[in-house]
Structure 1
Amino acid sequence: MDALRKWAAVWAVGFSLTQPLMAHDASGDPHAAHGMQMDMAGSKGGKDGMGGMNMGAAAAKPAKTPLATGAAFDAKHRLWVAWVEGQHVVVAHSDDRGHTLSPPVTVNAMPEPIYTSAENRPKIAASPDAKTIYVTWSMPLDAPYTGMVRFSRSTDGGATWSVPATVHGDRQPITHRFDSLIVDGQGRVFVTWIDKRDLTLAKKAGKPYDGAAVYFAVSTDGGQTFQPERKVADHTCECCRIALALDSEGRVQAMWRNVFEGQIRDHALAVLPVDAQQPVVPVRATFSGWHMEACPEHGPALAITPDGVRHMAWFSVVNGRADVYYSRLSADGKPIGEPWAFGDTGKPDEQASHAALIGQGKTLWLAWKDFDGDTVRLMLRRSDDEGSHWSAPRTLAQTAGGSDNPQLLDDAGRVYLSWRTQNDGYMLVPVEEAK
């Protein structure tokens, strides 16, 4: 079976399941761990007496511990890690580069359901002065595929957390989920998410509308308040994570899987302006021409080098080959070179997915999951010439059980890989020391 047929078979099996597929990706099924499933997320249940939402009888059955984990370093080199326990987001920190973690602290005192797919994990970030820590997550509502984007912050080193707030003003029981979080050099907090308010309006008007939309909100006061949300783009994929990165000018750029005319599921980019008077101008970023009338739940990764070139890692089917690809887009929006299937290790039975990408100056690191039917391996390539040439792939870690998607983290010039597995728990691997 070739790569495309193999991927399609896995996707078809996943789509037929009655459980939310995102629970498989994050709860420990090794065959779902390579991550090419549709997101059928959404839990059913009634409101609890305190205004939250419980998971309902269907979701009350015993479940494996979610593995979806967010991580980030602050400016004082402390590692912050966020994950989900039951109906609570919890946060721990490490001052010895992940060898030990502090006892976890609960973020949301009142329980609420939380999405825990690897594409929709809790996010964590720190202010530039490391005095404030921010966490976001997506909270399911009663109906499938719906949710609210939630936010909390700590101003006392993670000891206590603010009462969670909903970031967006729109409170319809529709899709607001797949949140992403980043803090710029001036301490402004950006949150993006997938939103279906425009689809809802189109349906009411009897008009066609493909996919969903990407929205964002900005806080300029350290997370105390958020400006009214703004739309980035219409017609986006419904359940792929949004990649965020800072460019050399300190601007936040977002990358997402878009729905172009003819149900082409390529990617787009845009700068997210702080000033509400500045327009958001999306540009097409990838050109694979993949026709797919569904969402693969497989978002991109983005890094921006000092010359303004956008370096992108993304999953697609190109010329019949399902793989993870690397490509570049110049500062003025022109493709550089041809997309390259970096997950091609010469072994046809292996499936690459869910890449992470990070850059420092002219150096880039590219990590991804590789699945051979039994074992998930985390692979790494490095480029020292802004993506023109890449090293051979090498293995950073592996597991025969379930696992989260990898993250690459930068701490003052040192790069680490953050990963949680069912068998080994949380690990932080220095990429230059990995064997």
Structure 2
Amino acid sequence: MGIRQWMILLTMCTVACNSQEKKIQVLSHAAQDASCPYLTTTADGKTVISWVEASAGADTGTLYYAVSDDKGKTFSTPQQVPTANGILPHAENMPKMVFKPDGEIIAIYGVEQNDPRNKYAGRVFYTRSLNGGKNWLPAQALVTDTGSYDQRYFDIALLPDGEAAAIWLDNRKDVDAEGSSLYFAVTAGHDGFKQEKSLAETVCQCCRTDLYTDGDGGIHIAFRDIINDSIRDMVHMVSTDRGASFSTMNRISADNWVVRGCPHTGPAMVKNKDGMHFTWFTMGGGEGVYYCQSADNGQTYTHKQKVSSVPLAKHPQITALADNKIMLVWDEPVKVKNAFNSRVGFQLRDGAGKVLDTGLLTPDSVYASYPVIKGLDGNTVLVAYTQREGELQRVCCMRMSE
């Protein structure tokens, strides 16, 4: 059944006043600038959406989150994470949360570094709650080595044993070449992240990384690598021993995109019964959002397939549903009169990757960007994104079910 036949339920969104406004639940505060939505779940399976709120005109903001115990139909009153502030909003470097089975919550976020060695440098901090969000410990730096002055584009995931893993891009490297190093660390009980180690060097320094744990305990990492000094293609590596070792990185697609710049659009991946599924943006061998899969855990990959017909479609995300289908979302520009808006597109595929439906989730009349997606059950997904209204932005969330 195609998504066009699904019932779309707007559980929270901000749009211009219209006859449907009474059906809209707004989670962010009306006078605040909200962005960077992220979707996750609590240890007992409740749906969580987090985002950043900043005062109008402010450069930095604070983390908020809300919880749904009815699969995204309604959400709790937004809760502030008081120790996660000074956040520099960046949708490719969005704050993220993880809920450990032992009751600990970790919120991780980026701030500006203001370092003369790199005007774009940032730092990553995290804060923890040991009692379900009632109280939060002081924020602490993810990296304490003074040789590290730039950490960005992090991700976090829960491991099968209940600990959390994190990856991030770091300036520390042993080679004199462009790019960052990819670092990895794991929590140790309630003592925070420990035993960091470098996994790769000459990684594209400005694209989102993706950390994913599959149902078999495998830890997957995808990122944009710098190959032969100028090619910026997506690579994948996997660990089957809780991160003690990782496979050699493999390109998911030999796009051979030669670019000496920062694409600012990272990869996404998910696993179902048929294998791993990937989506990414490239301008090598074609321009736009692409998809491929791997049935052998990253040893080989299928030839890439174009997802959106719009060349400048970017920022893809992907999820798996309990019925083995997968769904992708992305944003793409659309010309409206003499200006450009941005809209969110979708694609539904069956478990083996065959396209079932492709379409749009937002109208051309609004500016919607940076979608994130999470499967809730066999026939329900939740899509969150940022929507611009005048000088401010709002976080929107769309629940779709059969």
Q: Report the counterpart of residue 71 of structure 1 in structure 2.
A: 39
Q: How does 1:302-317 map to 2 (within 5 A)?
A: 302-307=269-274, 309-317=275-283
Q: Report the counterpart of residue 116 of structure 1 in structure 2.
A: 89
Q: Report the counterpart of residue 67 of structure 2 in structure 1.
A: 93
CA RMSD of aligned residues (A): 2.7
Q: What is the CA-CA distance between 1:95 and the residue it aligns to?
A: 3.4
Q: Report the counterpart of residue 135 of structure 1 in structure 2.
A: 107
Q: How does 1:59-208 map to 2 (within 5 A)?
A: 65-86=33-54, 87-109=61-83, 112-128=85-101, 131-143=103-115, 144-172=119-147, 174-198=149-173, 202=175, 208=176
- Say which SS state the counterpart of residue 287 (structure 2) adopts: strand
Q: 1:399 to 1:250 in 2, by over 3 A?
A: farther
Q: 1:211 to 1:342 in 2, by over 3 A?
A: same
Q: Report the counterpart of residue 179 of structure 2 in structure 1.
A: 211
What code does the residue aligned with 1:390 have? V
Q: Report the counterpart of residue 328 of structure 1 in structure 2.
A: 293
Q: What is the CA-CA distance between 1:358 and the residue it aligns to?
A: 1.1
Does structure 2 retain, via aligned residues, the 8 Å contact 1:218–1:274?
Answer: no
What whole-Å deviation, never above 9, does each CA across 1:209-240 have from its counterpart, x for those lacking one?
1211111110141x532222111211110111
Q: Report the counterpart of residue 377 of structure 1 in structure 2.
A: 343
What whole-Å deviation, never above 9, does each CA across 1:135-173 have from its counterpart, x for those lacking one?
111121122222221112223332222211212232346
Q: Report the counterpart of residue 257 of structure 2 in structure 1.
A: 290
Looking at secondary structure, tell me which structure has more strand per residue. 2
What whole-Å deviation, never above 9, does each CA across 1:277-309 have from its counterpart, x for those lacking one?
5355322222111101112011011112235x3
The runs of 5 or more residues in structure 1 that have no matched partner are 1-27, 29-62, 203-207
Q: 1:241 to 1:331 in 2, by over 3 A?
A: same
Q: Which of 233-242 and 146-155 deviates more?
A: 146-155
- Say which SS state the counterpart of residue 65 (structure 1) adopts: strand
Q: 1:371 to 1:267 in 2, by over 3 A?
A: same
Q: What is the CA-CA distance between 1:112 and the residue it aligns to?
A: 4.8
How far apart, CA to CA, are the structure 2 residues paired with 1:331 and 1:81?
A: 32
How far apart, CA to CA, are the structure 2 residues paired with 1:359 and 1:237?
A: 27
Q: What is the CA-CA distance between 1:398 and the residue it aligns to?
A: 3.6
Q: Which of 63-72 and 228-237 deviates more?
A: 63-72
Does structure 2 retain, via aligned residues, the 8 Å contact 1:169–1:228?
Answer: no
TM-score normalized by the length of structure 2? 0.79
Does structure 1 retain, via aligned residues, the 8 Å contact 2:344–2:369?
Answer: no
What code does the residue aligned with 1:430 have? R
The runs of 5 or more residues in structure 2 that have no matched partner are 1-13, 15-30, 55-60
Q: How many pairs align?
A: 355
How far apart, CA to CA, are the structure 1 residues paired with 2:268 and 2:36?
A: 17
Does structure 1 retain, via aligned residues, the 8 Å contact 2:349–2:357?
Answer: no
- Say which SS state the counterpart of residue 107 (structure 1) adopts: strand
The percentage of aligned residue pairs carrying the same residue is 24
